[in-house]
């Protein structure tokens, strides 16, 4: 994020947004997006991600700060002069026009010749494999087809930047996954810059080059999907991306990259110090369920606690185990269904262990348990 490069294609600089003059929906947003990148704004509803997109598209003015597009400040540029393609949550296909007329609309507005419009519309329809559907009304198409038309319409006038506001929210799971790949491939082949808004973390992980996790009007962390999952920097990100076990405790000592934390039930564990203050302060540790070992041999891992199995859920490839560990009764362990794994029974007590590296001590938060 620190890159102060002039190569940033989209640039938010100290942007703030308030609707009522009392609360800030977006608090001091700084974000650089290089050309050709697929950036996802991920966050729960009300986190300010859609507001950011609307400011970029020009539908909402920024209360403070400046947004740059290709080096030019665009705060005072009206939306129709920004040359930004946009895909809306409900697709916003004009119901009184056919699919072809919908696609032709941005071209007619730009006063292109009839022949040009025809070839471009045809090319765009072929790109989303809807060549035969030009004469239909949007209402005669399925949800997935409407989605493709919406994407084609946002691309047909060849903008350099595409904004997508939860475009797959209305589709069923299977179709959603298929469309994720299609959009990703379109992005790769056309080399456009995409800013994508979603609250679905799996979608964000699948498609993005970088993900900006929003909460409470602030970008909590912006990094590549794998970093985000494996090295969350705040408790919110750890909780929001993937499944997470949270253990609260008080810091005993902070060492070189590690710290000793005394859990509320009295045990002491070693954790990777990521986002901690001084000795004596509170911390919430994040531990991924697949990094936990059941009944580790001897001292093979530095942290070993007792856990009482509350519930076993058979999921085929793995067994999801809910147990009580250090007073938390929502501690989840994913046990791979490999040959000869530990036989487990509800009500029995086992040892659970993990590497210090996998247990990240983060900022303390009262809120949200795992999952």
Partner 1 sequence: MAAGTAGTNTENAPLMTADGVPLKQSLQRALRQKRRGAFLLTLPLLVFIFIFFVAPIADMMFRSIENEVVGKYIPRTVAALKDWDATSGELPDEKVFAALVEDIKIGRKDRTIGKVARRLNYEIAGMSSLFRSTARRVARLDEGPYKEALIAIRPQWGELETWQLIQRESGKYTASYYLAAVDARFDNAGNIVAQPEERQIYTFLFGRTMAMSLSITLLCILLGFPIAYLLATLPLRYAALLMILVLLPFWTSLLVRTTAWIAMLQQQGVINDLLVLVGIISDEGRLQLIHNKTGTLIAMTHILLPFMILPLYSVMKTIPPSYMRAARSLGATQARAFIKVYLPQTLSGMGAGTILVFILSIGFYITPALVGGTSGTFISNYIADHVSTTLNWGLAAALGVMLLALVLALYLIYDKAVGIDNMKLG
CB of 90 to partner 1, least distance (A): 6
If binding is defined by CB under 8 A, does position 105 make contact with partner 1? yes
Compute the distance between CA of residue 225 and CA of residue 206 in angstroms, rounded to an integer.
8
The torsion of the CA quartet 89, 93, 95, 96, rounded to 10 degrees, works out to: 150
Among 11, 17, 82, 322, binds partner 1 (CB under 8 A): 82
Q: Are 195 and 10 in contact (CB under 8 A)?
A: yes
Q: Specify the stretch interacting with partner 1 by CB under 8 A; choose among 102-110, 295-303, 309-317, 329-337.
A: 102-110
Site residues (CB under 8 A) for partner 1, limited to 280-339:
none
Using CB under 8 A as the binding criterion, the count of chain residues that bind partner 1 stands at 27
Compute the distance between CA of residue 314 and CA of residue 318 in angstroms, rounded to an integer.
7
If binding is defined by CB under 8 A, does position 92 make contact with partner 1? yes
Q: Specify the stretch interacting with partner 1 by CB under 8 A; choose among 17-25, 63-71, 78-86, 241-249.
A: 78-86
Of 194 and 325, nearer to partner 1 (C-beta) is 194
If binding is defined by CB under 8 A, does position 142 make contact with partner 1? no
Compute the distance between CA of residue 127 and CA of residue 125 in angstroms, rounded to an integer.
5
Of 109 and 313, nearer to partner 1 (C-beta) is 109
Binding to partner 1 by CB under 8 A, coded x per residue (else -) over 151-170, reads --xx--x-----x-------
Site residues (CB under 8 A) for partner 1, limited to 41-70:
57-59
Q: Specify the stretch interacting with partner 1 by CB under 8 A; choose among 43-51, 91-99, 208-216, 228-236.
A: 91-99
If binding is defined by CB under 8 A, does position 19 make contact with partner 1? no
Among 16, 18, 63, 89, binds partner 1 (CB under 8 A): 89
* CA distance readout (Å), 168 to 43, 165, 213: 15, 9, 18
Of 121 and 154, nearer to partner 1 (C-beta) is 154
Kindly give the pairing relationship between strand 193-198 and strand 161-165: parallel
**Which residues, in sequence order, are CB contacts of 28 under 8 Å at separation 6+?**
14, 15, 16, 65, 218
Among 43, 85, 144, 167, binds partner 1 (CB under 8 A): 85
DSSP H helices, 28-163, are: 49-57, 99-109, 114-127, 143-155
Long-range Cβ contacts of 249-254 (<8 Å, 24+ apart): 249/282, 249/283, 249/285, 250/280, 250/281, 250/282, 250/283, 251/276, 251/277, 251/278, 251/279, 251/280, 251/281, 251/282, 251/283, 251/361, 252/279, 253/279, 254/278, 254/279
Among 110, 185, 279, 341, binds partner 1 (CB under 8 A): 110
Kindly give the pairing relationship between strand 359-362 and strand 268-273: parallel
Of 80 and 185, nearer to partner 1 (C-beta) is 80
If binding is defined by CB under 8 A, does position 21 make contact with partner 1? no
Compute the distance between CA of residue 281 and CA of residue 363 in angstroms, rounded to an integer.
10
Q: Are 65 and 16 in contact (CB under 8 A)?
A: yes
Kindly give the pairing relationship between strand 38-42 and strand 210-215: parallel
Q: Specify the stretch interacting with partner 1 by CB under 8 A; choose among 12-20, 75-83, 286-294, 336-344.
A: 75-83
Q: Specify the stretch interacting with partner 1 by CB under 8 A; choose among 35-43, 150-158, 199-207, 348-356.
A: 150-158
Of 92 and 344, nearer to partner 1 (C-beta) is 92
If binding is defined by CB under 8 A, does position 86 make contact with partner 1? yes
If binding is defined by CB under 8 A, does position 80 make contact with partner 1? yes
If binding is defined by CB under 8 A, does position 149 make contact with partner 1? no
Enumerate binding residues for partner 1 (CB under 8 A): 57-59, 78-86, 88-90, 92, 94-96, 105-106, 109-110, 153-154, 157, 163
């Amino acid at each position: 994020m620190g890159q102060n490069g002039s190569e940033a294609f989209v640039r938010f600089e100290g942007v703030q947004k308030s609707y009522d003059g009392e609360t800030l929906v977006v608090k001091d947003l700084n974000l650089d997006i290089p050309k050709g990148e697929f950036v996802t704004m991920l966050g729960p509803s009300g986190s300010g991600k859609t507001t950011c997109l609307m400011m970029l598209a020009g539908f909402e003015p920024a209360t403070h700060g400046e947004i740059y597009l290709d080096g030019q400040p665009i705060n005072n540029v009206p939306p129709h002069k920004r040359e930004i393609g946009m895909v809306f949550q409900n697709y916003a296909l004009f119901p009184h026009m056919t699919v072809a007329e919908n696609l032709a609309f941005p071209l007619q507005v730009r006063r292109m010749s009839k022949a040009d419009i025809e070839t471009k519309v045809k090319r765009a329809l072929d790109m989303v494999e809807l060549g035969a559907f030009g004469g239909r009304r949007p209402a005669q198409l399925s949800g997935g087809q409407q989605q493709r038309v919406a994407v084609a319409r946002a691309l047909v006038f060849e903008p350099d930047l595409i904004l997508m506001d939860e475009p797959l929210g209305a589709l069923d799971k299977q179709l959603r996954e298929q469309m994720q790949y299609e959009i990703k491939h379109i992005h790769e082949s056309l080399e456009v810059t995409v800013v994508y808004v979603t609250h679905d973390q799996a979608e964000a992980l699948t498609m993005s080059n970088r993900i900006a996790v929003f909460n409470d009007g602030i970008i909590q962390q912006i990094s590549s999907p794998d970093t985000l999952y494996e090295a969350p920097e705040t408790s919110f990100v750890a909780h929001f991306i993937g499944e997470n076990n949270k253990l609260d405790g008080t810091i005993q000592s902070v060492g070189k990259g590690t710290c000793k934390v005394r859990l509320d039930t009295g045990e002491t564990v070693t954790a990777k110090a990521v986002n901690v203050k001084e000795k004596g302060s509170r911390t919430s540790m994040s531990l991924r369920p697949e990094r936990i070992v059941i009944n580790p041999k001897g001292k093979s891992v530095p942290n070993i606690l007792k856990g009482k199995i509350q519930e076993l859920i058979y999921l085929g490839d793995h067994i999801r185990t809910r147990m009580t560990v250090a007073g938390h009764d929502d501690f989840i362990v994913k046990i791979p269904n490999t040959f000869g794994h530990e036989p487990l029974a509800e009500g029995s007590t086992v040892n659970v262990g993990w590497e210090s590296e996998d247990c990240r001590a983060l900022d303390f938060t009262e809120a949200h348990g795992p999952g």
